[in-house]
Structure 1
């Protein structure tokens, strides 16, 4: 049996299936899974050969550039002063407001409502989107007034925290935010490291360059108890794009112990850009939550750490030195920091001291190149520099996700530290994988799960209960419905919020479709890097959910969010099919 193939029980197989290992994972959009033939039209095939040359298949990639993005015509939007209807007391304060100020005109052009029950109105008692809500019929009366339920509490505590406050944003944009203490720490760290390096330039001994600072926070992590216990936890990995707040809420409900926001870059954070600060938002259900940073400057990262400490509710701050993205790497950030140890030392020492009692952690890969692992050398140094925990992803930057994670090497890294927890990451897809990895790496304190949680978020439940859960298609669809409701609550229930929720749902579906129900497997368990044989599910909905076709993902979204707008198109950002190459 081919170890790279996930074998399906014969009664669920689609006939004449052949494994195409040249498929790099960006699904075609030509036909639905419920109508998929197994041979292409001759004319279409000939056209393909002409385009790609010599009959070779054109290589497709995850679409992170020039992606089709839905953009609404803002001139058709209703002025916010009229969200609650024409009879409210709010007045437009802008003399040159470009939005619509006629409620009748707006309502006549507004798309048809998606449904008759607004999740926000039914749970909160009031929908702030008012007339613009795509479920407005449930809370707008005949006179176009936006209604409130009796249980609505205008003073109820917020359920989402963080982001950037207006006064902080203004101070950052005017460069008036007080970073004097942080700059003092950074300069002292850099000066001390430089002086000690010169003193020991002719020696081979270890160098102690801990700065002696007067009036500054000095790292004494060995003496103080950690604020966050990273031992024996199931940690959800920071996941760019797909690791958004609604997804993290789903994972928390399935048993994730610790969550972390999507990677945020230091430069736009220091500039006070809303889009980047949105990545720091936290839901009240995330009882242990961290923010992951990326950057190539000790000063900038330390400044961001100060802002987070002073203005946000965070339990830890993480530095990503494993990001393989080429643009990030070329800027000297992400995985490039594994090759810039002097800078990395300045960053870890500075940030850990600025954050003081908030743990500063680091997430790394084995190294930049597959044949040259350096993490086992870096991890003990990062412990010395002040890191409270280190996560080791058992692959190099060069390997991305196409090779198996090396847990023997992760164990080597974990065995090399004295006190701090080492968190293992990579290829955990079942509770059996979890048990196996923990046996291979007994010194690893906890595990971090990324793609496994994207493909089946209930992996946390399976690990804690030590048994498989085989949800029906109806149960999986209800999970999607819950995600959509959380998305509408987070991004809004107007047209823009609906389409934002749809886009992130489709991004998630580019991973979800890879799940094969456990009772359909010929040789369970399913491995994360195995390509399944083409199969049909136990019902039409399960078959639809197994499709690698973007058009079918859009159908699923329409079942929850109504028809897509005219001209809508979608290409997944990530290469979801990172199957092992054999």
Structure 2
């Protein structure tokens, strides 16, 4: 997408026309001394004066030094902490509905057709049908072409599109055929409604849980009834729907019907309304196989049709999705030597992964999704499982605390999604995850780890991987003691992040311990290392020092410089220019508008995730500015300016400058816009960290 840049001048490298105090002769340190103190050895000619010598420096710069935010004029936006009035859920819902009825939110059908009578809900529609009022308040169109011109016959956002000026009349006549969607793994409304009502059962998962002795009492009775052919438990002479939403946290979401196959149980719903096989088909297949469901035979597995439909529409090589491998013929993924982009919360979204694929990533993985949220049908959580056609080797990462929750989740995902592997997160250090018994908390509960891996392995045929840290407390590493067991439990690969939960992201990754674990692992288990990879020399060193490591997972290094994948493949330090970096941001914006939409909401969503990414990219120091290369991930950059104004702007630590970059690509921000980065690592020495 061609996007014109703003004509506003870039800030001068020295910070504008500010009057400086008489300079004090700086103390010159050798590059070796700077490296020893974890300070980036920037060449002296690019260093800025210390912040104390610049009294008129803008107060919005964080850490001083590489930009002049006040020169932005109207673009200057300060980050302010505003205390908001606490409102009840009912009040928030009422305000949300009132806002939807305003001219800000035009009905999508009306916007696409420009016909107020096209909406089937008419006066009962929750959105506005006032076209004139909507057009009167609609922001100016952005420069460039609509991202959907080459994807759809007609832009799905119609007049609401921020590029509506580029729409052509009779576009459907100029295109021979409508191109297929390039994204899959979306949750259908029918299945979502069944999840909301707890009316989906998980026969394969429950059969495996029963086999392992991990099934609750109610679900054990359910399996017995299912084997006897009883469609529902009869209590007090009537059919009942039982749920178990209380008590143990591990049973937050339960089957509300008595573990029948995943079948729509609505009386007025047709048998194939949600793509599920009906009960009669299930019973017939069961009788033909003449086996019990406790052994999880193929004939007893109720499959959805939605996965096959998605696969047919997916812009990838055609495969026979009806063909099912048995437990001994599971697909094997060879991770050896492949460049693996880690699952990254918030920033590792689909548009960012597309950028990394263009730059050389071989394996991609979706953001971590919470199992309880997936089982509740939360659309925002299912969006994390979306897959683009360019992701030829794609996995998803899920996080849960109990075997039944995770087994039910993978059972559902196997029906609804097309993925190459499933990764279970057992290393997330975030408090809200750990306090629920998931993530790093599982490192202190090896028997629960065993139950989770075994239950997942026996439920689906998709390869299973796990991601862990070295341990929970510093100095108490424990993965080496269970590395062989992980393979026996059913995992085909394990990723080891070389830090404990207590360390979070402080201190350097312990690669010696990763090597120790890799050497203890059986040949059938792929061991992947993770931590502090920021150059091709880091990659080469870890692979050569320990040949038992299959590959290395790249996380923060890809956030700061996604062209790291290109550097590794081409074995060079890429002294990338500011214009080349800007083109990557343009690609991200284009991919973001395709993914989140080209209307005002889609534009602002793209802007938000662009800003989240820019909160990482400013940490990159260009190769040509360093006395010692390559840059290390733990180096603290001094105040410096770039070789051109754009490079200086991209090095800014000021959120105001990040917003200005977003305005170059997505136009002016709305009135009252503020931004604060979401990711702020907790301190190492906090009490709850141990």
Q: Give the C-alpha shift of residue 439 in structure 1.
A: 2.6
Report 1:47-446 matches (<5 A).
Answer: 73-74=99-100, 75=102, 76-87=104-115, 90-122=118-150, 124-139=152-167, 147-148=171-172, 150-151=174-175, 153-154=177-178, 156-190=179-213, 215-216=295-296, 224=329, 226-356=331-461, 358-418=462-522, 419-446=524-551
Q: Give the C-alpha shift of residue 135 in structure 1.
A: 1.1
Q: Distance in 2 between matches of 1:224 and 1:348?
A: 18
Deviations 1:330-367 (A, max 9, x none): 110000001111211110000011112x1011000001
Report 1:532-543 matches (<5 A).
Answer: 532-543=637-648
Q: Give the C-alpha shift of residue 391 in structure 1.
A: 0.3
Q: Distance in 1 between matches of 2:674 and 2:436?
A: 31
Deviations 1:448-483 (A, max 9, x none): 000000001011111111111122111110110110
| 1:483 equivalenced with 2:588 (yes/no) | yes
Report the counterpart of residue 629 of structure 2 in structure 1: 524
Q: Distance in 1 between matches of 2:108 and 2:194?
A: 26
Check conservation: 1:217, 1:354, Cα contact below 8 A.
Answer: no
Q: What are the ranges of 5 or more consecutive residues in structure 1 without an aligned counterpart?
A: 19-26, 38-59, 193-211
Check conservation: 2:69, 2:656, Cα contact below 8 A.
Answer: no
Q: Distance in 2 between matches of 1:270 and 1:330?
A: 20
Q: Distance in 2 between matches of 1:90 and 1:374?
A: 63
Q: Distance in 1 between matches of 2:411 and 2:330?
A: 21
Q: Distance in 2 between matches of 1:28 and 1:14?
A: 14
Residue 331 and residue 577 in structure 1: after superposition, are their counterparts in 2 closer, same or farther (change >3 A)? closer
Specify the SS of the correspondent of 2:501: coil
Q: Give the C-alpha shift of residue 89 in structure 1.
A: 7.5
Residue 421 and residue 226 in structure 1: after superposition, are their counterparts in 2 closer, same or farther (change >3 A)? farther
| 1:545 equivalenced with 2:545 (yes/no) | no
Deviations 1:95-151 (A, max 9, x none): 42242212222111111112242222255453211100111111166xxxx854612
Check conservation: 1:510, 1:576, Cα contact below 8 A.
Answer: no
Q: Give the C-alpha shift of residue 9 in structure 1.
A: 1.1
Number of residue pairs matched by the alignment: 516
Q: Give the C-alpha shift of residue 34 in structure 1.
A: 3.1
Specify the SS of the correspondent of 2:382: helix
- Which deviates more, 97-106 or 565-574? 97-106
Residue 270 and residue 565 in structure 1: after superposition, are their counterparts in 2 closer, same or farther (change >3 A)? same
Residue 98 and residue 225 in structure 1: after superposition, are their counterparts in 2 closer, same or farther (change >3 A)? closer
Residue 17 and residue 108 in structure 1: after superposition, are their counterparts in 2 closer, same or farther (change >3 A)? closer
Check conservation: 2:151, 2:181, Cα contact below 8 A.
Answer: no
Q: Give the C-alpha shift of residue 297 in structure 1.
A: 1.4
Q: Give the C-alpha shift of residue 574 in structure 1.
A: 0.8
Residue 94 and residue 360 in structure 1: after superposition, are their counterparts in 2 closer, same or farther (change >3 A)? farther
- Which deviates more, 176-185 or 283-292? 176-185
Deviations 1:47-96 (A, max 9, x none): xxxxxxxxxxxxx99xxxx9xxxx99432211122122435873342542
Residue 288 and residue 88 in structure 1: after superposition, are their counterparts in 2 closer, same or farther (change >3 A)? farther
Check conservation: 2:48, 2:65, Cα contact below 8 A.
Answer: no
Q: Give the C-alpha shift of residue 29 in structure 1.
A: 6.0
Report the counterpart of residue 68 of structure 2 in structure 1: 35
Q: Give the C-alpha shift of residue 413 in structure 1.
A: 0.8
Report the counterpart of residue 474 of structure 1 in structure 2: 579
Q: Distance in 2 between matches of 1:530 and 1:577?
A: 19
Q: Distance in 2 between matches of 1:506 and 1:415?
A: 41
Q: Give the C-alpha shift of residue 180 in structure 1.
A: 2.2
Q: Give the C-alpha shift of residue 389 in structure 1.
A: 0.5
Q: Distance in 1 between matches of 2:331 and 2:511?
A: 26
Deviations 1:259-295 (A, max 9, x none): 0000000001011110100000000000011110101
Q: Distance in 1 between matches of 2:482 and 2:135?
A: 61
Deviations 1:191-232 (A, max 9, x none): 69xxxxxxxxxxxxxxxxxxx9952279x9996464322222
Check conservation: 2:534, 2:633, Cα contact below 8 A.
Answer: yes
